[in-house]
Amino acid sequence: MFTADQFIDTVQGGKKQFVKTFVQNEAAAAAMNSFIEAQADYTKKAAKVGMDTFTVLASESVKAAQNASKFDYSKFGEGIMKAYTANTKK
């Protein structure tokens, strides 16, 4: 199964390989790799929070739909008609 962490690791691994291949200065390479690690950590956390938020919203939407399906619309309509009839007779 595909997860966001796998994709993030793949992209960040490509960045690290680029640094390893093209950056000759050790200090610059270390700084860039540190930045890449920080990016990976932040992106993984943001993806997790996004997925958790989506999961909660989807769950609550399902609950709302289930509750709406339990609602007795015919009884509600009868109540409205009774109220309307009572008001129009006055």
| pLDDT tens, position by position, 52-61 | 999 999 999 9
For residue 64, give its domain range.
25-88
Residue 7 lies in a domain: no
Percent of the chain with pLDDT over 90: 67
Cα separation, 59 vs 52, whole angstroms: 11
Q: Is residue 83 part of a domain?
A: yes
* Residue 62 placed within a domain: yes
Q: Is residue 10 part of a domain?
A: no
Domain annotation covers residue 13: no
pTM, to two decimals: 0.68
Q: Evaluate whether residue 81 is within a structural domain.
A: yes
Q: How many domains does the chain have?
A: 1
What pLDDT, on a 0 to 100 scale, did the predictor assign at position 90? 60
63 within domain boundaries: yes
**Does 37 map to a domain?**
yes
| 8 A C-beta contact, residue 47 and residue 8 | yes
